[in-house]
Every structure is written in structure tokens, then in C-alpha cells.
Amino acid sequence: MTRDIIDVQYPALDHTESVANIAIEKKAVTVANGITIKDAFSNKNNSLFIVIDNTANASSLLTVKAGNAYPNSMLGDIVIELAKGISAIQLQDLSRFQKSDESIDLDFGEGFTGTIYAVAKWAGVRPVEA
């Protein structure tokens, strides 16, 4: 299967460093392809949110695939029910799902229609500007 790839979207701080804003770009989900969230865990600060808009007429299933980077991936995939409408998902056991390239794979149940995006905050200190 060739997965569709999305990037984690990060906020841009305003010049006062007091307000952060994200211009969201949504990706339409193709069920047959599934989704890979590239660099999903590179921020390492547990701020990743996966936002899914289920536009189908009924609930659907989302499978968060087990990773291959850490031993607790042996716990396997986890299946989440997505109600009709918008769901925001935050993973608490990151290493269970983390692949060696810092990405995560998601599969969607038959009949799912909708969009997805992922957001997180920056984890590091920004370089000082001269």
C-alpha cells in the first residue's frame, strides 16, 4: 500500500512571541491508501494532536498502527471509534506507535469519508536573531 503523507503543522509566533497561529491545511482521506504522518514524533513534547473530520453519515473506525522503534510496539495496533463530526486525538503512549523514521501510520475503516490534519507546538528554543 502506498500511503498518503501529511506533515505536522506548527504554529508561527507573532513578533511579540505572545500569540501563535496555525493556518490549517486539511488532507482528504483516501481509505484505500491510509495516512502516514511524517515526523509525527520529532517534537518529543507530547503536544501532537490528530484532527479528523468524519463527514460520513455514521461513525467509523480508525486504526493507529503499532510502530517499529520501541519494544512496547508489541502491544499492537489500537482501534478507535470516530463519531460523525470532528475528533481531536492525542496519543499518550507515543513509543507504541512510533516508527523508526519518527512517523506514524493510520488506517481508516471502510465507508469513512473526511479530512485529516495534525498539529503540534515546537519543542525547542528558537535561534537568537542578531
Identify the three-state secondary structure at position 103: coil
Give residue 128's pLDDT.
Answer: 47
Provide the 10 A C-beta neighbour count for residue 17.
Answer: 8
In the chain, domain spans = 4-12+24-119
Per residue in 2-11, pLDDT tens?
999 999 998 8
Give residue 51's pLDDT.
Answer: 97
Which CATH architecture is the domain 4-12+24-119 placed in? Sandwich (2.60)
Cell of 97: 506507535
Per residue in 9-65, pLDDT tens?
988 877 777 788 888 999 999 999 999 999 898 776 778 999 999 999 999 999 999
Residues 6+ apart with CB under 8 A from 50: 37, 88, 89, 90, 91, 106, 116, 117, 118
Scanning the structure block, which residue is given the C-alpha cell 481508516?
Answer: 108
Q: With DSSP H G I counted as helix, E B as strand and the rest as coil, what are the percentages for the chain, rounded to 5?
A: 5, 35, 55
Identify the three-state secondary structure at position 54: strand
Model-wide pTM > 0.75: yes
